[in-house]
Chain A
Amino acid sequence: MGQWIIAYTPLVDLFLLHLGFAYAQYIVLRAGVFSLATAGLAGIGAYTAGVLAVKLGAHPALGVAAATLAGSGAALVLSLPLARLRGVYQAIATVAFVQIVYSVNLWAEPVTGGAMGLNNIPRTAGTGVLAVAALGTLYLVWAMERTRLGRAFNAIRQDEAMAATLGVDIVRHQALAFALSGAIAGLFGALEAYHAYALDPGQFAFPFLIAILSYVILGGRNSVAGPLIGTAILIILPELARPLAENRMLIYGVMLILVINFLPRGIADSLILAWRARRLARPEPAAGEP
């Protein structure tokens, strides 16, 4: 048993970290923003936390708090120009943002270590801390879904003009979704920094963006369970066999093409809709029957 836990701890840690990034991505998509900025926001969080720990010897709690604030602050600023864009233009602008974060990390070598990366970060975030953060995020997403925020995000995503005529302030709600997404991405970026000893700018670049997006698209963009299922499958699958792990990005690519073509709502949302359709199709039991 003990052996088993030790053997699988790195996989569990990886899953918990990526679950956080998946939910950061999920929150903006749910609110109808086609943003792919999560990877960049996570990078900002990771480097904020990493630099504070390595260069200033800051307490990890301070680093985590600063990274969360930096992530949500950057997201809020980013939401201003994005409010004027829609759909694929938002996607392109946010891909550019991820690229900018990557370039700045390379360029600011005296602070970030540049291409050599940031090394010797004290490892302070273990499985327990990651689990608490992941559970907290899961609760937040689950809770928000059930309140005025979830209702408004839902309406905006499905039909923005309709939502506006019903009194929903689109700009404010999308800015809020962005800030939350940035806070979660920043937080898990910090946890990544405090978990991995070292950071590398390439870690938060385009391949990471695709990975995060894959979790949400495979699992489902609407239901809270979607990112959980998507992340679990895509993290565990490559670990089943060495050749799969070596071609991780290839697997993600093939999976995305298959899902988009044959299961465009993702696994969780398709299951929920199928289940609901079956429930409604069942004839109502006649009076007197048990």
Chain B
Amino acid sequence: MLRLRNVSRHIGGIRAVDDVSLDIPPGRITGLIGPNGAGKTTIVNLITGMMPLTAGSIHLGGTDITRAPAHRICRAGLARTFQNMRLMADETVIDNVMIGFHRHDRCALPAALLNLPSARRMTATLRRRAAAMIAEFGMERFAGFPAGGLSYGHQRRVEIMRALASDPAFLLLDEPIAGMNDVEADALAAIFRRLAAEGRGILLIEHDMRFVASLCDHVHVLDGGRLIAGGRPAEVLRDPAVIAAYLGG
């Protein structure tokens, strides 16, 4: 369980995130929706250690990750994608995915410095695993292409592969289908369902209600930094407070 308790982030006088408590269970897809500027991305930044909390605590399983640096949080089993994609644009798809394996990229320092056989074997293993993952996502054709030249939808997929490469217990997806057509989105939905079935907990941030409703057991609604509703998608979307927030009431 990924557990947020009374999490706040105040920037100057602005309460970007204010007293948010939510649970992200393993094996489920939990939705987080809300109008633009509600603080959804800030919550992901707080969980992944990219930004310090003003107050509150975050636990991953039994581990307190409230003040842990970002790389430790990754090693504790948490990965994310970025809303504004952050790929290495000039590097190939396979190299972008390979850096996702960093957590498993191990060899002794002298071996790494001199590229001794153990380091070469590690590189070969990771390259194979990255290639297998790219094939699984139906992108073999693009493995040698620079990531920056791919279509929006394909770049999103590379980001998801890179996040999955660390084999995370929890995955935070910040608007993963933005800019995709329905066919691409459906293909991703199937992948997300499979990841949840493998036992991973997923936090899905999205604008597309239909997409969220079709995937999530539980949806939280954020507005002005505060949670204003939570429950089954069908109930939440009927909630007058939620409708008011989306219509700017």
User: Which of A17-25, A93-101, A163-171, A234-242 has 4 or more CB atoms under 8 Å from chain B?
Assistant: A163-171
Contact B113 A276 (CB under 8 A): no
Closest chain A CB from B128 CB (angstroms): 15
| Residue pair B119, A147 in contact (C-beta under 8 Å) | yes
Instruction: Identify B103's interface contact among A146, A154, A167, CB under 8 A.
Output: A167
- Whether, in the assembled complex, A260 has its beta carbon less than 8 Å from a beta carbon of chain B, the answer is no
A210 at the interface (CB under 8 A from B): no
Find residues 86-127 in chain B having any chain A CB closer than 8 Å to their own CB.
86, 88, 90-91, 95, 98-100, 102-103, 105-107, 111-115, 119-120, 122-123
Q: When chains A and B are docked, how far (Å) is the Cα of A151 from the Cα of B98?
A: 8
Q: With A147-B123, A167-B75 given, is the CB distance from A161 to B50 under 8 Å? A: yes
Which residues of chain A from 157 to 191 have any CB-CB distance to chain B below 8 Å in the complex?
A: 158-159, 161-170, 180
- The reply to whether B112 and A169 contact each other, CB–CB distance below 8 Å, is no
Q: For residue B74, which residue of chain A has the nearest CB?
A: A167
Question: Beyond A159-B88, A280-B145, is A164–B98 a contact (Cβ under 8 Å)?
Answer: no
Judged by a CB distance under 8 angstroms, whether B69 is at the interface is yes
Q: A144-B112, A147-B107, A158-B88 are in contact. Are A164 and B69 (CB under 8 A)?
A: yes
Whether B79 is near chain A, meaning CB under 8 Å from some CB there, is yes
Which among B50, B91, B106, B122 is the interface contact of A165 at CB below 8 angstroms? B50
Residues B91 and A154 in contact, CB atoms below 8 Å apart:
yes
* Alpha-carbon distance A148/B114, docked complex (angstroms): 11
Bound complex: CA of A136 vs CA of B238, how far in Å?
A: 69
Chain A 203-233 per-residue mask, 1 if CB under 8 angstroms from chain B, else 0: 0000000000000000000000000000000
Q: Decide if B48 is an interface residue (CB 8 Å cutoff).
A: yes
Query: Is A108 an interface residue, CB under 8 A from the partner?
Result: no
In whole Å, how far is B132's beta carbon from the nearest beta carbon of chain A? 18
Among residues 126 to 146 in chain B, which have CB atoms less than 8 Å away from a CB atom of chain A? 144-146
Asked if B22 lies at the interface with its beta carbon under 8 angstroms from chain A, I say: no
Residues of A within 8 A of B91 (CB): 154, 158
Is residue B70 contacting chain A, with contact meaning CB distance below 8 A? yes
Contact call B88/A143, Cβ cutoff below 8 A:
no
Q: Which residues of B contact A163 (CB under 8 A)?
A: 99
The 7 closest A-B pairs by CB, nearest first: A143-B115, A164-B70, A167-B74, A148-B105, A147-B112, A167-B103, A147-B119
Question: Can you list 21 A-B contacts (CB < 8 A)?
Answer: A146-B120, A146-B123, A147-B123, A148-B102, A151-B99, A159-B86, A161-B86, A162-B82, A164-B50, A164-B70, A164-B74, A165-B49, A165-B79, A165-B80, A166-B99, A166-B103, A166-B162, A166-B166, A167-B74, A273-B90, A280-B145
Chain A interface residues toward B at CB < 8 A: 139-140, 142-144, 146-149, 151-152, 154-155, 158-159, 161-170, 180, 273, 276, 280
